[in-house]
Structure 1
């Protein structure tokens, strides 16, 4: 575990050093060198220095450093409203870049693009130009096939269809702006982003299917991993998808090779692989929220749960479940609070309470949508009317819950000011000290 933490810190230091002049200047450089010195000298191991320089060279190699002008080869994701530029000349970009071209169906494309004008605002670059050549991603036809199935299933039920496309394929371009805002305000946005919930559901579904068709234990998990990989390729390896895919793959590998599963090790392995594949995801909000939430569950919540168990003895199982869910949501909110404050200038206050009601209902809804889609892909459409009635009932209930929760005062407060990164660091220093104190207090109980 310690080795994995040090490797991850080395990678983070390399990224910060690579970008230091663009972000925070000499203070960060000194901080990085201090941390790096600690990592290196603790065991006098030169391997961390070597790894640091290798990764630093790797960053130079995989990063596009040319001008955003002229005719370029771009790898783009069209999400319904914007064209997110993922790579230029097959190299990653350390900037947020979007194409001002719309009208393309959701999916991934390789373009030959003539850049005519670039507009920059708040560090976000929007480029205008002409597409001179376009090639669809190889798996777009699979995604389009699934989209067509969802449209046929929910024909005449526009709102449910839009939710289904977002929850199953990550296509959020058609979600109403007000409805999307309510999801964010109530802290339930993760239900319409492909995340651990969705990947876990995929694994569970295919394991159940193969339980009745494949007798070999290992073959069953290998086929599950293959279908999981195909699904993730179809929806695209965003940061949240990549994280959960790596974690799910590690879990499946542990089952195949009869190894004991270690969630904390899986967490850091996932961090390291994500940082290697997508080095600039470190500054991506989805990276910060995704890993922040999972890290809170693995490393912080157990401390509070043990204290809760020691101090509160609730006999009613339902009440105990509700209290633990609320506690878990509160811990995640405390740990991810600076991400919202720094990026959105908002302060979540009571939004953690929404998860107690919203997650169970939303999870059930997503499970039913997945099951209906899989049945239709398999050619079993006989249950569509019954399933549609059930989904419609639950969706209406879910929609009502979202509207009701959004009306609760003080879910989030608009801060109205920008927060310096030093304040964020001090916040986490205080939180870390508080957790250490709770662990010390726990030993005294």
Structure 2
């Protein structure tokens, strides 16, 4: 492609992006007494704002309501209290009326998770819904703070790890059924699309989904997939569809992490060792270190913190979190056949080990430097 054509594409992309950014982002000043229309999911009288007055917020906004049933809702009311925290802004609303906003697939998954966790604590249900369905607002601030301080907050965000688990799990299952490659990947693409539609949009999910679709289509059409070009394409599409994500920390964390792996880590010569296990561990440490270096400016801009030694906490926590995510998806899948009870204990114990491990590590001073 000629330089003139590339320049024209960049100008066209920038023009569309800034036009959509201006018209789709929420810029009004909200004060006590302001009348607002909020779309979001209500759980136990609280929720996170998806849109406010028909536009996307440029920062995290949460809301509290009285006498509104759980579920996806369109809420109309006046703001009676405004509170600020490091996690965002919270509006307490005096609700005048509300309407249902149907999300059949998501309600189905929520119902499954509730059945899986009915014999365990409500904390497990909330943690599962946060890590599997992206409902992070259900987590207590103390839990979010622990993960933030230890530099493992990315575990609480649905990302490529989750999408990868679905692809690998389904591919292994379909291989055992002796399905042809094209049929396998078409089925995986359909299942992945249903999952993404159910959990709703988020920057990390959208990025992982687009890259996964490109990978799957490449295998279906027998084309070689370039991961770098896939990332750039996902970045451009994300900003064109949801320009307000330019203000989102999860957007930047997701893309910066994958960028550092594709364009930096893959260029570094791999460490060798006689033991395959030690070799994998050493290279995982190098990859985590590279990601940490590139993520540091993001943490500073959004949290005014610098993760100093959180590389070590990631090395310890990520394997435990991976086991939790794998067993969670397996249990969710088995619950469709009323067999979720077989692996539910594994979900519970991996959750307990994960939380206690993060709690212990969070007691170590100077993991993250507060500025």
**Shorter-chain TM-score: which interval?**
0.7 to 0.9
Measure, in 1, the Cα distance between the counterparts of 2:160 and 2:153.
Answer: 13
Say which SS state the counterpart of residue 92 (structure 1) adopts.
coil
Is the 1:109–1:134 Cα contact (8 Å) retained in structure 2? Answer: yes
The structure number with the bigger radius of gyration is 1
1:155 is matched with 118
Distance across 1 between alignment mates of 2:129 and 2:311: 26
Q: Does 1:184 align with 2:148?
A: yes
Residues 280-318 of structure 1: CA deviation (Å, up to 9, x unaligned): 211111111111111111112223x31x64xxx432222
Separation (CA, whole Å) in 1 of partners of 2:286 and 2:245: 29
Helix, strand or coil at the partner of 2:40: strand
Question: CA separation of 1:180/1:52 partners in 2, compared to 1, >3 Å: closer, same or farther?
Answer: closer
CA gap of 1:66–1:187, structure 2 versus 1, over 3 A, is closer
Q: Which residue of 1 aligns with 2:15?
A: 53
Partner of 1:143: 106
Given the superposition, is the C-alpha separation of residues 219 and 300 from structure 1 closer, same or farther in structure 2, using an over 3 Å criterion? same
Partner in structure 2 of residue 443 of structure 1: none
Match of 2:368 in 1: 412
Distance verdict in 2 for CA 1:328–1:72, change over 3 Å: same
2:147 maps to 1:194: no
Is 1:401 the equivalent of 2:357? yes
How far 1:249 moved relative to its partner? 1.1
Conserved in 1, the CA contact under 8 Å of 2:305 and 2:370?
yes
1:70/1:115 contact within 8 Å kept: yes
Is the deviation greater in 209-218 or in 244-253? 209-218
User: What's the secondary structure of 1:84's corresponding residue?
Assistant: strand
Matched, 1:325 2:284: yes
Q: CA deviation at 1:80?
A: 5.8
**Cα deviation 1:115-161 (Å, max 9, x = unaligned):** 3558486994736342423122333xx33333333333333321444
1:333 to 1:55, Cα distance in 2 relative to 1, 3 A: closer
5+ unaligned residues in a row in structure 2: which ranges? Answer: none
TM-score by length of 2: 0.85
State how many pairs are aligned. 366
Q: Equivalent residue for 1:354?
A: 313
Mind listing any 5+ residue stretches in structure 1 that lack a counterpart? 4-39, 416-445
d(CA) in 1 for partners of 2:206, 2:297: 23
Equivalence for 1:377: 336
What is aligned with 1:99?
Answer: 63
CA contact (8 A) 2:71 2:100 kept: no
Match of 1:11 in 2: none
The Cα of 1:247 is off from its aligned counterpart by 1.1
* Alignment equivalent of 1:236, drawn from 190, 197, 200: 200
**Matching residue of 2:98:** 133
Which residue number corresponds to residue 172 of structure 2? 208
Q: Please, what TM-score do these two structures have when normalized by structure 1?
A: 0.72
Map Cα deviations across residues 149-193 of structure 1 (whole Å, 9 max, x no partner).
333333332144443232222233443433332222222222222
Q: Tell me if structure 2 keeps the 8 A contact 1:329–1:352.
A: yes
**RMSD, aligned α-carbons:** 3.2
